[in-house]
Amino acid sequence: MGKYHDLAQKIVNNVGGKENINSLTHCITRLRFKLKDESKANDDVLKNMDGVVTVMKSGGQYQVVIGNHVPAVYEEVIGIAGLSADTEQESSGGNIFNRLIDILSGCFQPFLGALAAAGMVKGLNALLVFLKLYSATSGTYTMLNGIGDAIFYFMPVILGYTAARKFNLNPMVGIVIGAALCYPTVQGSALQATFEKTAGAGAAAPYSLLGLPAYDTFLGIPWVGAGYTSSVVPIIFIVAFAAKVQKLFKKIIPEVVQTFLVPFFVLLIALPVGFLVIGPIISMLTDLLSAGFQSLMGFSPALYGLILGFFWQVLVIFGLHWSVVPLAIMQITQEGFSQVLVGSFAASFAQTAVVMAMFFKLKDKKIKALCPPAIISGIFGVTEPAIYGITLPKKTPFIFSMIGAAIGGLYLMINQVTSYTMGGLGIFGVLNFINGDDASGVMHSFVAILIAMTIGFTLTFFFWKDNTVAETTKNDKAQKAIKEAVLSPVKGRVLPLSKASDQAFAQGALGKGVLIEPTEGVVRAPFDGTVMTLFPTLHAIGLISDQGMELLIHIGMDTVQLEGKGFEGKVAQGDKVKKGQVLVTFDIDGIKEAGYSVETPVIVTNTGDYLDIVETQDREVTSNDTLITGLA
């Protein structure tokens, strides 16, 4: 019975018992459960349990954040739950709605940055045409429009890749499936045109399926054509089916020839089924869904904008906004415009204004220091630092931001503002509302920003009171002594930890520290000490200094999934290391090309042992610069 046996037993009991666990893996700080039913887990008990930092739910996983000693806890949990270390990671994923949200977020989230960038290019192009700097018939317009339109036109190819990763299909096969859906001669309009060349223009379709017209057949089966370029939903369902086909043939075909025979049968089966059955049915259903959404907005645009604006930030917190985002993408790719998300536009500005007001009223210096960077990121549409670090913990200010967002959404929908691209977030989002020579939507968007910010700021400034007891500041510096200075383990750009894309790091759940955007793929020892933990995939390393500071260096986000590719270890777990010694090297470009961020949190995991952890104020650091100072 090990040191962490009691903790492991409590964790197993509170995730619903061993019968509720489908599988378990771990990374450098977390136990990653796949549970049969997440509702059976006792979130509050786990969060308040000694030895557990917090609980996170992400990517279909129930994550119990432990800290550097997670491997030891993992071994105990494996033994108690009777699991195998190589248990297949599959689960029911909860109810249908939760599974759908998980699938949509997994498919769309990886390329949202590129989607926003493309939308910004289109918005900029529209702005420059509006300002008469060139015409919509010029070569400049054509090139920029092509750059901005490409991701929308070839949406099935992009989603073919991300959906393949989500459903564990060979990603290259996913891309081929998406490309096949974009192939010109298989589009519904092309099939109809080919038929009418011989039958005459306007001739009735010779076949039908489910009441839909079909102009050709495949092995005698009516082939209902649809327009798949710029489509969103059909590719996800076809890839999901293809993943099942792949799984079947991997069991049948010998490994020596799987490389080409498995993709052969996947394409040969999945695509015809997709073209003949899945595509037409899904296209019909999405058309009905889009029509229903338009009817809802047509019933009362004002009410729709009010409700969406009020609840948008709540939807984002729980990941439920993924039930709405695909509808907007679908409308813009197919129709060139959408009002689905317009009502949510003012939410980030309302949140930002609330933080501005809180800055003047906060007594806690540490929270107050978070306000300026949160305000800056909020202006550009990134509100997670503000929500999780400042307003949500105080509750009332968050509600005030919801009210401001609701009134802003109401104004936009009353004035029938329409979005013509999925462009940038925050202030860059105003370019979404330009349509040719008509920039009235931009003017309305600025008014909505003003309304949302005024309401959020005013309510917070006049009706919220910070009940936190003011910190004692007298002779603070004299009462603190430097305990240990930590050199930067990585050369690069320093950012506040709150900007980390992973909320467990951003909220400081694992301890205080900083975030580094590396410019050199080398991790060096920041002090003399010992390698306490070195994960097999080399993406994270835990150190303990000779003076007792415990430090976690986590290279990139979700890079555990690379399984060590792009990393090279120079030390082993248990090694004694000297300041400046190379610990790990990593391929920055390779990691980015694989679709992962290289942002590197450097965390003091035993923060509670110090009076304060002081981070450097430098924007750029090298291995010779002090990054963190522990004060005792």
Tokens of 326: 């695909």
Find the helix packing angle between 233-252 and 171-182, rounded to 10°.
Answer: 130
Backbone phi, psi, residue 545, to 5°? -75, 165
N- to C-terminal Cα separation, the chain? 35
Which residues partner with 496 through β-bridges?
A: 514
Radius of gyration of the CA atoms of the chain, in A: 27
Closest CA to 425 of 379, 474, 366: 379
User: What is the distance between the alpha carbons of residues 76 and 11, in angstroms, rounded to a whole number?
Assistant: 10
The answer to whether the CB of 470 falls within 8 A of the CB of 609 is: no
The DSSP symbol for 227 reads -
Q: Is 27 a catalytic residue?
A: yes
Torsions phi, psi for 49 (to 5 deg): -80, 135
Q: What is the DSSP letter of 488?
A: -
Exposure on the CB side of residue 489, measured as CA atoms within 13 A? 30
Give the residues across from 286 on adjacent strands: none
Q: Which helix (H) or strand (E) holds 393?
A: helix 392-394
**472-506: string of b/e by CB count within 10 Å (b at 16+)?**
eeeeeeeeeeebbebbbbbbbebbbbbbbebbbbb
The C-alpha atoms of residue 83 and residue 80 are separated, in whole angstroms, by: 8
Hey, what's the torsion of the CAs at 394, 399, 404, 406, to 10 degrees? 150
595 token code pair: 């679709």
Do residues 162 and 106 make contact, with C-beta atoms less than 8 angstroms apart? yes
Residues 225, 215: Cα–Cα separation, whole Å = 8
Which residues touch 571 (CB under 8 Å, ≥6 apart)? 531, 534, 577, 581, 583, 584
- Distance in angstroms (rounded) separating the CA atoms of residues 68 and 531: 11
CA distance 538 to 554: 9
Of 344, 362, 358, 446, residue with least CA distance to 398: 358
202 Cβ neighbours under 8 A, 6+ residues apart: 196
Strands (DSSP E) contained in 134-215 are 207-209, 212-214
| Cα(372)–Cα(392) distance, integer angstroms | 17
Cβ atoms of 370 and 267 closer than 8 Å? no
Catalytic residue among 27, 107, 182, 371: 27
Q: Give the separation between CA 120 and CA 117, rounded to whole angstroms.
A: 5
Torsion angle of C-alpha atoms 152, 154, 155, 158, degrees rounded to 10: -130
Q: Which of 181, 125, 2 is nearest to 421 (CA)?
A: 125
Query: Which active-site residues does the annotation give?
Result: 27
